[in-house]
Chains A and B, each alone.
Chain A
Amino acid sequence: MSECILKVENLWKNFGGLMAVSGYSLELPRGAIYGLIGPNGAGKTTVFNLISGVLKPSRGRIVFKGRDITHLRPDEITALGLTRTFQNLRLFPSLTVEENLKVAAHVHARCGFFSTLFCAPSFFREEKAIERKAREMLERFGLYEFRKEIAANLPYGLQRKLDIARALMTGPELVLLDEPSAGMNTKEADDLARLVAELQRDFHLTMIIVEHRMSFVMGLAEVIQVLDYGSVIAVGTPEEIRQNPKVIEAYLGTGDLVA
Chain B
Amino acid sequence: MKRRIPQELWFVIGGLVLFGALFVAEKTLNRYLLHILILMGIYSIATVSLNLTNGYTGLFSLGHAAFMAIGAYTSTLLTFPVPLREAYDLPRLPWFLGGPDAAWSFFPALLAGGVLASCAALLIGAPVLRLRGHYLSVASLGFMVIVVTFAKTLKGITRGPMGISAIPLYTNVYWTFLWLFITMYVVWRIVNSRFGRALMALREDETAAQVLGIYPMKYKLFAFVVGAFFAGVAGGLYAHLTKAIRPFEFSFTLTFQIVVMLIVGCMGTMSGPVVGAVLLLALRYALKPLEEHLKLYGLIELIYALLLIVVMLWKPEGLVGRKRVSVRGHQERKEEGEWARFSTPR
Contact = CB atoms under 8 A, between A and B. Distances in A.
A56 to B, nearest CB: 13
A187 interface: no
Interface stretch (B81-89, B154-162, B337-345): B337-345
Interface in A86-109: 86-88, 90-95, 99, 102-107, 109
Given A92-B201, A92-B205, A40 B210 contact: no
Contacts of B333: 90
A107 B222 CA distance: 17
Interface string B303-346: 00000000000000000000111101000010011100110101
Interface in B1-25: 1, 8
Interface stretch (A4-12, A60-68, A75-83, A196-204): A75-83
Interface string B203-227: 0110111111111000000100000
Interface in B158-214: 186, 189-190, 193-195, 197-198, 200-201, 204-205, 207-214
A50 to B, nearest CB: 12
Contacts of B328: 93
A40 B344 contact: yes
B194 A92 contact: no
A99 B213 contact: no
Q: Of A46, A74, A113, which is in contact with the most chain B CB atoms at under 10 Å from its CB?
A: A74
B221 to A, nearest CB: 12
A106 to B, nearest CB: 5
A127 interface: yes
B341 A93 contact: no
Nearest to A46: B338
A258 B146 CA distance: 64
B212 A18 contact: no
Given A103-B198, A116-B195, A117-B189, A41 B212 contact: no
Interface residues of B, number: 37
A119 interface: yes
A49 B338 contact: yes
Interface in B32-91: none
Q: How many A residues touch the partner, as a band?
A: 35 or more
Contacts of B210: 54, 73-75, 78
Contacts of B8: 119
Contacts of B186: 117
A133 to B, nearest CB: 13
A75 B323 contact: no
B144 to A, nearest CB: 27
Given A40-B346, A95-B200, A117-B189, A90 B213 contact: no
Contact of A170 (B198, B200, B201, B213): B213
A218 interface: no
Nearest to A18: B342
Given A94-B325, A106-B194, A106-B213, A99 B346 contact: no
Contact of A41 (B1, B189, B204, B346): B346
A123 interface: yes
A168 B229 CA distance: 37
Contacts of B341: 40-41, 45
A93 B323 contact: no
A97 to B, nearest CB: 13
B326 A73 contact: no
Nearest to A112: B195
A45 B337 contact: yes
Interface in A204-219: none
Contacts of B208: 86, 90-92
Given A20-B342, A41-B346, A95-B204, A166 B195 contact: no
16 contacts: A40-B341, A40-B346, A41-B344, A73-B210, A74-B207, A75-B215, A90-B205, A92-B208, A99-B200, A102-B194, A103-B197, A106-B194, A107-B213, A116-B193, A119-B8, A127-B193
* Nearest 4 CB-CB pairings of A with B: A107-B213, A92-B204, A90-B208, A94-B326
Interface of B: 1, 8, 186, 189-190, 193-195, 197-198, 200-201, 204-205, 207-215, 222, 323-326, 328, 333, 336-338, 341-342, 344, 346
Given A45-B337, A93-B204, A103-B197, 10 more contacts: A20-B342, A40-B346, A54-B211, A88-B336, A91-B208, A92-B200, A94-B324, A95-B197, A106-B198, A106-B212
